[in-house]
Chain A
Amino acid sequence: MINSLTNSPWVGHINSGSCNGCDIEALALFSPRYDIERLGILLKGSPRHCDILLATGPVTNQTLPRLKRIYEQIPDPKFVIAIGNCANTGGVFQETWNTLDGIDKVIPVDVYIPGCPPRPEAIVDGVIKLIQKLRRDISSKDEEIKE
């Protein structure tokens, strides 16, 4: 199942209270210059269609239940990529009263992409790294089975 996912992962996107900088860079991935669709990666509106969640923002208290709910709605196997410094650690928003300092305080994160905001190339790189990691996992498991 994971094997088929690596060929054409569908991604969803959630803004959990970011400044929108990471979000426009994530959207720029689907524009002609970066065109991530040529790699088989499609942006989907509903979390129920997604394999990978692109999450931005430091998680505000008001988005917290929504973030959890959207994560729950994604069918297994699912992976989360935290985009931007504030999604990783809270960034400049650390110690503000209404944030939780990062996506990984709420849901498990597989890939962290630093940068404020990270360049679109960096985001593509993050997605590719996740795919490669999954493929490596699969091939090593296959070998284990053979042995």
Chain B
Amino acid sequence: MIKSGFQTLDEIATSLDLKIREPTDHPLDLYVTIPPNRLIEVIKELKAKYNVSHLSTIIVQDLQDEYKLLYPFSINLSGGKMGKLIIDSRVDANEPKIDSIVKEIPGAIYYEREVYDMMGIQFKNHPDLKRILTPDSLPRDIYPLRKNITSEEIRRRLAESRKEREAEEKLKEYIRREQLEYISEKSDYAIAIGPQHPSLEEPIRFIFQVEGETVKDVELRLGFNHRGLEKAFESRTYAKNLYLAERICGICSDAHQLCYVQAVEKCAKITNDIPERAQYIRTILAELERIHSHLLWYGVLAHNTGFDTIFQFTWRDREIIMDILEEISGNRVNYAMHAIGGVRRDISTEQVAKIIPKLKKLRKRIVEHQKMMMKETSFVVRQKGIAPLTREEALSFCAVGPNARSCGINVDIRRDDPYAAYDQFSLDVPIVTEGDIYSGLVIRLEESLAALDLAVEVLKTLPQGELRIKSPRRIPEGEGISRVEAPRGENIHFVQSNGTTKPERIKVRAPTLANMPSLKKRLIGIQVADIPPVVRVIDPCIGCMDRVTFVDSKTGKTMELSGEHLISRGNRAYRLGTRVLDF
């Protein structure tokens, strides 16, 4: 981390001559307003003077006559903390245009596309301003998050357009054509992977342009899983949204719920009143989830590289953590533990006594997995030096979480922007500098051990006290932005309340979207056989390699290859010695 001598965000804002919108209660949050035409200039200054490179997301809100755009930048402050400087810029609703910042912040490429897609704001000089999340069948004049259109209206229009499309063309032919049109003249093959695959969090479609066995270019199609949750949040009460937030993702459900709860608490101005016991229980849940997610990750990585023994071992041992989570919350996935103002369930002394030995047993197992994986040369050689990302690239693409830490970026929201009870404990944040798949594995293994130790420590020091405070049903008008270190990295939620029981706007940015630009960079230049493990490295939940279609560009013939075929193809390539073993 770059150490700077700047005390507070206020000082930085004053030195750049930025207008502070209003003072906040949180020393690590600061909102400043600037006119849209100054945006690029301010970002350039921030980059030059304060080494700012990380943009968390772009939040956009419809205020009827204008659009509010918020750019939360991370700034390293003295004392090892990381502040959020939130730039507020308004554009006129009649002419929604703003300069693109992709040149300054390459990681903003998907964020700008998302804003364009959802709100219809044009970004001047954006390299590839296309829709990103909405379905192909959505009529082009609909921008779903605008306030002048309701969910029912969009549903009705979508149903109409679906009928038209089905009448117009046979679906099968349509999809086949869609696959074929990706083949460019430069490459031999276009390989389309996805969107449907067993156990994929966000069904994604990759279109690889390959020459021989080398990937030359890759195009992503996101949004298969887009359910329109941000719109749905606006029509439900805060209490109902707790359960919707949890179901953004089934693997980091706790991280999303916690992040949502914290943002609402900031709006309600009760952040500092949360009971200590609740904070500790929140920490325990977050750490347990981290362990289960990391175990799942390296199990599937092993499966992707053909080392199925480890896959079975990790999934066997993952059940230990699932049992603990079930013991605490009553459910294996989607724990529903958090409430606005605290937590819903207690962890009793008997439960603590049961959990700690289980965690110790799991620790031994993880060390065992570690030894097995590190000793297996055929497994290690498929990862060392594959698809490396340099620190500078990771910084410019705004990488987060283990993906960033494996490239030598010392960032961890738990330590830099503390929430729950993390400021009470000293955190062990492993950093590796190589940036290849292997360092991603090392990071996750070390993190799961550190998370285990932390969970035991928190359980042992669990303080007595209340579980939750009463929260108002109507949340007073305000803005809350909250960050959580989910297993996959920085997760950010923004809540705008308007004094009623329902929020005005909720924005969610999950860590996988932040890691997409860097994944794209990693994929270029690798071998086809390495696609599964490289896609794994950012942890897009579970690998997406079970159904791959190869399209021969000359004959237009398609053949389907399953994940097993790909794995055996990869293993064969290695047996034949296409890569020199460097041990």
Give residues in A with beta carbon < 8 Å to B.
12-28, 31-33, 43-46, 48, 57-58, 60-70, 72, 86, 91-93, 95-99, 116-117, 119
B201 beta carbon closer than 8 Å to chain A: yes
Partner of B135, one of A24, A62, A72: A62
Chain A residues contacting B175 (CB-CB under 8 Å) are 65-66, 69
Q: Mark B225-265, 1 if CB is under 8 A from A, else 0.
A: 11111011001000000011001111101000000000000
Pick the residue among A45, A65, A67, A98 that contacts B198 (CB under 8 A).
Answer: A45
The answer to whether B199 touches A60 (Cβ under 8 A) is no
Interface size class of B (residues with CB under 8 A): 35 or more
Q: Within 8 Å of chain A (Cβ to Cβ): is B373?
A: no
Convert B330-368 into 0s and 1s, putting 1 for each residue whose CB lies closer than 8 angstroms to a CB of A.
001110000000000000000000000000000000000
Determine whether the beta carbon of B195 is less than 8 Å from that of A32: no
B564 nearest in chain A by CB position: A45
Question: Within 8 Å of chain A (Cβ to Cβ): is B174?
Answer: yes
- The answer to whether B198 and A27 touch across the interface, beta carbons within 8 angstroms, is yes
Q: Which of B144, B333, B562 contacts A24 (CB 8 A)?
A: B333
Q: Chain B nearest CB: distance from A43 CB in Å?
A: 7
Across-interface contacts of A98 in B (CB, < 8 A): 134-135, 144, 154, 158, 226-228
- B333–A60 touching, CB < 8 Å: no
| Majority-rule SS of A interface residues | mixed
* B171, A96: Cβ atoms closer than 8 Å: no
Taking the nearest CB of chain B, how far is it from the CB of A50, in angstroms? 11
B172 at the interface (CB under 8 A from A): yes
Return the chain A residue nearest B563 by Cβ. A45
| Minimal beta-carbon separation of B220 from chain A (angstroms) | 14
Collect the chain A residues with CB atoms within 8 Å of residue B223's CB: 62
Instruction: List the A residue with the shortest CB-CB distance to B202.
Output: A20
Partner of B562, one of A17, A45, A70: A45
Top-8 shortest CB links A-B: A21-B250, A31-B315, A45-B562, A61-B135, A45-B546, A62-B135, A13-B198, A98-B228
Cβ of B18 within 8 Å of any chain A Cβ, yes or no, is: no
Contact B312 A97 (CB under 8 A): no
In the complex, chain A residues whose CB is within 8 Å of the CB of B560: 46, 48
Residue contacts A-B, CB under 8 angstroms, 29 given = A13-B198, A15-B199, A20-B250, A21-B250, A21-B333, A23-B201, A23-B542, A24-B199, A24-B250, A31-B312, A45-B563, A46-B547, A60-B225, A62-B137, A69-B175, A70-B196, A93-B232, A93-B247, A95-B151, A96-B229, A97-B144, A97-B151, A97-B154, A97-B158, A98-B144, A99-B227, A116-B334, A117-B250, A117-B334
A61 & B199 in contact (Cβ 8 Å cutoff): no
Q: Does B457 contact A (CB under 8 A)?
A: no
A20-B250, A65-B171, A65-B175 are known; give 17 further A-B pairs, CB within 8 A. Answer: A13-B199, A15-B196, A31-B312, A33-B315, A45-B198, A45-B547, A46-B562, A48-B560, A62-B137, A63-B224, A66-B196, A69-B175, A92-B244, A95-B152, A96-B232, A97-B232, A98-B134
Determine whether B177 belongs to the interface, using a CB cutoff of 8 Å to chain A. Answer: no
A70 and chain B: residue at smallest CB distance:
B196
Q: Is there an interface contact between A92 and B247, defined as CB atoms closer than 8 Å?
A: yes
Q: Of all chain B residues, which has the CB nearest A95?
A: B151
Q: Is the CB of A32 within 8 A of B232?
A: no
Q: Which residues of B contact A69 (CB under 8 A)?
A: 171-172, 175
CB contacts (< 8 Å) of A46 on chain B: these are 547, 560, 562
Instruction: Report the minimum CB–CB distance from A53 to chain B (whole Å).
Output: 11
Contact call B244/A33, Cβ cutoff below 8 A: no
Give the residue name and chain of the A residue nearest to B203 (CB): A15
Residue B273 lies at the interface, judged by CB distance under 8 Å to chain A: no
Q: How far is the CA of A6 from the CA of B158 in the complex (A)?
A: 40
Residue pair B203, A23 in contact (C-beta under 8 Å)? no
Complex-state Cα separation, A68 to B232, whole angstroms: 26
Contacting A at CB under 8 A, from B383-404, are: none
Chain A residue with the shortest CB-CB distance to B144? A97
Q: A62 contacts B198, CB within 8 Å?
A: no
Would you call B158 and A62 a contact (CB within 8 A)? no
- Shortest A56–chain B CB gap in Å is 9
Q: Whole-angstrom distance from the CB of A41 to the nearest CB of chain B?
A: 14
Q: Are B195 and A27 touching (Cβ within 8 A)?
A: no
Instruction: Indicate if the CB atoms of B158 and A61 lie closer than 8 Å.
Output: yes
Shortest Cβ gap from B222 to chain A (Å): 9
Minimum CB–CB distance for A14 against chain B, Å = 5
Report yes or no: A18 in contact with B232, Cβ–Cβ below 8 A.
no
Q: Select which of A19, A27, A60 is within 8 A of B542 by beta carbon.
A: A27
CB distance from A73 to the nearest CB of B (A): 9
Q: Please tell me if the beta carbons of B196 and A96 are within 8 angstroms of each other in the complex.
A: no
Closest Cβ neighbor of A57 among chain B residues: B225
Shortest distance between the CB of B532 and any CB in chain A (Å): 12
Whether, in the assembled complex, B316 has its beta carbon less than 8 Å from a beta carbon of chain A, the answer is: yes
Q: Which of A13, A14, A96, A117 contacts B333 (CB 8 A)?
A: A117
Check A32–B312 contact: CB distance below 8 A. Answer: yes
> Which residues of chain A come closer than 8 Å to B312, judged between CB atoms?
31-32
Known: A20-B541, A61-B158, A62-B135. A25 touches B332 (CB 8 A): yes
Do the beta carbons of B249 and A20 come within 8 Å of each other?
Answer: yes
Tell me if B200 is interfacial: C-beta within 8 Å of chain A: yes
**Contact across chains for A17 and B228 when beta carbons are under 8 A apart:** no
Within 8 A of A (CB), among B189-233: 195-201, 203, 223-229, 231-232
A93 to B229, CA, bound (A): 8
- Nearest A residue to B158 by beta-carbon distance? A61
- Residue numbers in A under 8 Å from B248 (CB-CB): 19
A119: which of B154, B198, B200, B332 is its contact (CB, 8 Å)?
B332
B296 adjacent to chain A (CB < 8 Å): yes
Residues of chain B within 8 A of A63, CB atoms compared? 195-196, 203, 224-225
Are B174 and A65 within 8 A (Cβ)?
yes
Report the minimum CB–CB distance from B113 to chain A (whole Å): 15
- Asked whether A17 lies within 8 Å of B251 as measured between CB atoms, the reply is no
